[in-house]
């Protein structure tokens, strides 16, 4: 790895690339070693807290907000759309049983257009 930059903007950019790298590695490791994938998620969270940056939305949905495990749909999580067209995706963690609800309004608007 390269050395850390010295100014704040470059540090945050470096940290964001580190976080994306951790999630990429977690995706690869999740099938062979789920504990390693969970460890990589913990490292990504730790990095985001240290540099005070938010984890991007597409990556936030890849781990459970309750037990911080890396989620693989069909393996340790369940993905459902809400009944009666409420416009939500319900993501259930099968390890701890928590539910996360995410809207999908943009997709519905694109379908109408």
Tell me: the pLDDT tens digits for 19-73?
Answer: 999 999 999 999 999 999 999 999 999 999 999 999 999 999 999 999 999 999 9
Q: Greater confidence, 43 or 102?
A: 43
pLDDT of 2 > 90? The answer is no
Task: Residue 90: give the domain boundaries.
Answer: 8-112
2 found inside a domain: no
Across-strand partners of 101? Answer: 90
Q: How many residues are there in the chain?
A: 113
70 found inside a domain: yes
A 10 A CB-CB count for 82 gives 13
| Residue whose C-alpha is closest to residue 19's, from 51, 89, 9 | 51
21 found inside a domain: yes
pLDDT of 3 > 70? The answer is no
Mean pLDDT to the nearest integer, 92-98: 94
Q: Greater confidence, 103 or 19?
A: 19
- Report how many domains make up the chain: 1
CA distance 23 to 40: 7
Q: Hey, is 71 helix, strand or coil?
A: coil
1 found inside a domain: no
């Amino acid at each position: 790895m390269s050395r850390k930059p010295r100014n704040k903007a470059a540090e945050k950019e470096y940290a964001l690339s580190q976080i994306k790298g951790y999630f990429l590695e977690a995706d690869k490791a999740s099938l062979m070693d789920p504990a390693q994938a969970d460890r990589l998620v913990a490292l990504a969270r730790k990095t985001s807290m240290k540099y005070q940056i938010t984890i991007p939305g597409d990556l936030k949905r890849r781990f459970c907000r309750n037990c911080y495990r890396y989620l693989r749909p069909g393996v340790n999580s369940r993905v459902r759309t809400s009944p009666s067209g409420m416009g939500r995706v319900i993501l259930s963690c099968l390890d701890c049983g928590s539910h996360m609800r995410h809207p999908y309004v943009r997709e519905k608007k694109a379908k109408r257009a």
